[in-house]
Structure 1
Amino acid sequence: MRIAVVAPSNALQRETADRVTALAAARGDCTIAFHPQCFLRHGHFAGTDDDRLSALREVIADPDVDAVWFARGGYGSNRIAEAAVTDIPGAARAKLFMGYSDTGFLLAALHKAGLEVAHGPMPQDIVRQGGEEAVTRGLDWLVRRDPAALEPGVRQPAMAFNLTVLSMLLGTMIEPDFSGVELLVEEVSEHHYRIDRLMFHLTSNPNVRRAARLRMGRVSDVPGNDPDFGQDEAAIAAFWCARSGIELGAPAAIGHDCANRVVPFARRAS
């Protein structure tokens, strides 16, 4: 299997790419090609918007690429998401696309265009403590669709997003259809009052209220609040789900950490 890596948000360190390449080579069941765009820098981003879009469109159209793996999160994939799915070439239909965090904008756009996508670990995760386990899990899904990589309680159809990214998707051209979907969310580095505000926005949306249920993943690196907010993320989710009438499911095994599990999006016709 040939996996192409592009960076639609922030740049990747070459040392990180080298570690992932070595890990993949040791497996013997795939080859990984890091597009040169991954290492470009233009202000905050991994190259200009045109650089990032061009690289993504290139690998989408390449018939020799079996899967497209987003290098890392950060910020910036929203700036190219709509253009990325304009005039999708036929070669894209056979590929799997995977990432999480900021690349949720692209997951939403690609899924809405009828392509196969999954929330899951990315190459950048190898820099975390225990990160090789996460990258191995990601490769297990990309290469073999190994069910052991999946979020253990997920029910299909399902989608998974970073909470901030999901909130920003609402009302845009790439907003998904959540009808009957199990919706998993996670967050990192946000105060509890901001989690509360995001959950208000999310659960107030009529489209989201058509979801089958909502499951809260891990919320990590929460900054301190003065005064204390008085509710943790579980209590916040329970409050807003009860108010909106959305079923709250069991905690989800997703998050910005090396234990992040894979959630494939149910494929729908464009």
Structure 2
Amino acid sequence: MVIDSKSLLQLQTIKRIGICALLLFMILAIIRLETGKIPWEIVFIPMILFLLLIPAMAHGILANSFFQMQEYAKFITLFAVYNFVITFVVFFTLLALRLEKIIDASWISVFVPIWYGLTIYLGYSCYIIPGMVDKSIGMYRQAIMLILWFVALLLTSIFTVCYLETSFPTQPCIVLSPVIILGFINLIAWVIPVIKMKRNPNAPKFNPVGIEILWISTVIPTIMITLLKIMVSDTIPSFVPFLPALKVAIITFVQQEKLYASTKKEGYQYIS
């Protein structure tokens, strides 16, 4: 699919800003956890600023001709984008204020934006899933994972609020169990098609560098290290749980820059 250089630059700009914002956020969070000298409001600023840029970028990208979408589809997509941005901006703001004890709101109030965002996520998933399971598309595995992510995130958020408000569940491992279980499901969903593809050259092609491998290589190690720090040994430095995400972010940044350079040179990009 042919993409003009302006559109290609817009896509790459989003990736650059997003990765840089994530890296800066993690660095500030590490400093805060290690020294306590930076307020949480400052820690979340990079992510909030990046989120505020997303709607304008979404409008610019969807306006380009290579997105062959009907107007109602663009409207629904932009509706979801705006709501996700509002969700996370409000959540990060409330979370920072609550952690700094500037406000004394209940944790239920802090997590209300997340539950609203999950409702939007479920609605948007229901909108795109029928197209994903179409025989000509064949994205059955991805469609199932969308629903499983919703269930895992919803249960984890509810368990987190219950743990913070009532201390039940009694252990952090129970709080994070839905995400951990989903991680192993991701691992199985990733391994099976990879093995089939290697054993049978005629098997359906599978991109091993997908959302599953990001979850496996980032979310699960981060959770496991965090649980070890909380439940086993508090001597683990605060920066250690961030190492998997830092590593993946840096590798992703380098790979995306290489892909952008080669794509710009060739003058086209394949969009799956």
What TM-score comes out, normalization by structure 2 length? 0.26
TM-score by length of structure 1 reads: 0.26
Higher relative helix content = 2
Q: Which has the higher strand share?
A: 1
Higher relative contact order (CA 8 A, sep 6+): 2
